[in-house]
Amino acid sequence: MARLQRTKENEVVAQGKRGIEAFIAGMPKAELHVHHVGSASPRVVAELAARHAGQSKVPTDPAALAEYFNFTDFGHFIEVYLSVVDLIRDAEDVRSLTFGVAEDMARQNIRYAELTVTPYSSVSRGIPDVAFMEAIEDARIRAEKELGVVLRWCFDIPGEAGLAAAEETTRLAVDLAPEGLVSFGLGGPEIGVPRPQFKPYFDRARAAGLRSVPHAGETTGPETVWDALRVLGAERIGHGTQAVKDPSLLDWLGEHRIPLEVCPTSNIATRAVQRMEEHPIRQMVDAGLLVTVNSDDPPMFGTDLNTEYAVAARLLDLDESGVAALARNAVEASFLDAPGKARIIGEIDQYLAGWDQG
């Protein structure tokens, strides 16, 4: 990882803030930790809620969704998230939602994203499995052709749904694997959902060539990250917020170059971290870890990837060169092929050089 360059002076005047934000907005980016349904824009969610009026408590007014997405804790977040999942009733809902997510990414100059998809949630609600796969693939192909956004999938187990969900997710990932599928994950609550029980499912997915990217250490301690690494064979860690509490874990993550998918605003919204000033991203960077910046469930948290980069720039005292280094981290940590990585890193470097010259 290129060393993150800090600003030389501890002065961030208004003009400097605008400069960083403008730089971030135009910078080519990759995103590794962002959820499919959680990325649905307020417009799309409101349209789905109106279509299924009387069958859901989700507001049909986009403005009212901001209050609806005001979470009290992680458990409340899961409850609200599932209520939005329940609005997706057929393959056309899936197709339009997915392409809408890609349109939002294109507006942020996101070139590549590994979108975490929870197929069990839709298939268990009656959407045929083959129709679901066709819908996300149709949207993926169209997004790359029309928007220049390359999408790949991470199929994740919803931990709160138990081992039946793990079995079904594994079947969908291994037996029906769509072309864009690259990885296998585990989401949902950590408390009361121990990671070792999912080992057989991760073993099968990894044997089929999928990469392991479970959530861990978001709302529980470092031991959950250790379980993800030692038992599930994690190649990246979703969140990993609590890893900083274990120096030996930090050493291991740094030595083995295991990337962390850090989502600052999400951590505050779900109360995984109490105050932004307490976020451990600086400790992660100072420990030499490969840190990537991500938005998680952006509309639900009132954020987007550009905003998360601006938050990281403030927390880490980064200038444009430092922000570009963070962007390269995401590309390096991705499961994109070597030519694809070289292309996006080249775009980032060219953009930085042009900005400096300007």
Read off the pLDDT of residues 179-214 as tens digits, 9 standing for 90 and up: 999 999 999 999 999 999 999 999 999 999 999 999
SS3 90: coil
* Residues annotated catalytic, as ranges: 218
Q: In what order do the strands lie in the sheet with 260-262?
A: 215-216, 237-239, 260-262, 291-293
Q: Is residue 10 part of a domain?
A: no
Any domain includes 135: yes
- pLDDT reported for residue 266: 95
- Determine the structural domain holding residue 180 and report its residue range: 20-357
CATH number at residue 250: 3.20.20.140
- Our count of domains for the chain comes to 1
Q: How confident is the model at residue 7 (pLDDT cuts 50, 70, 90)?
A: very low
Flag whether pLDDT at 100 surpasses 50: yes
Average the pLDDT over 26-39 and give the result: 96
Residue 15 has pLDDT above 50, yes or no: no
**Considering only CA atoms, which of 254, 269, 253 is closest in space to residue 308?**
269
Confidence (pLDDT) at 47: 82
In tens, the pLDDT along 286-342 reads 999 999 999 999 988 989 999 999 999 999 999 999 999 999 999 999 999 999 999
Say yes or no to pLDDT of 251 above 60. Answer: yes
> Quick check: is 185 in a domain?
yes
SS3 187: strand
pLDDT, residue 11, reads: 36
Residue 196 belongs to a domain = yes
Q: Is residue 343 part of a domain?
A: yes
pLDDT band for 23, please (50, 70, 90 cuts). very high
Q: Domain for residue 152, yes or no?
A: yes
Q: For residue 18, what pLDDT is reported?
A: 58
In a domain, 9, yes or no: no
In 3D space, the residue among 23, 104, 90, 97 whose CA is nearest the CA of residue 52 turns out to be 90
Q: What is the dihedral of CA 122, 128, 129, 130, to 10 degrees?
A: -140
Query: Region 143-148: what's the mean pLDDT?
Result: 98
Q: Is residue 220 part of a domain?
A: yes
What average pLDDT does the chain have? 91
Sign of the Cα pseudo-torsion (308, 311, 315, 319, in order): positive
Tell me: pLDDT of 170 over 80: yes
- pLDDT of 3 strictly over 80: no
pLDDT at 5: 37
CA distance 240 to 65: 28
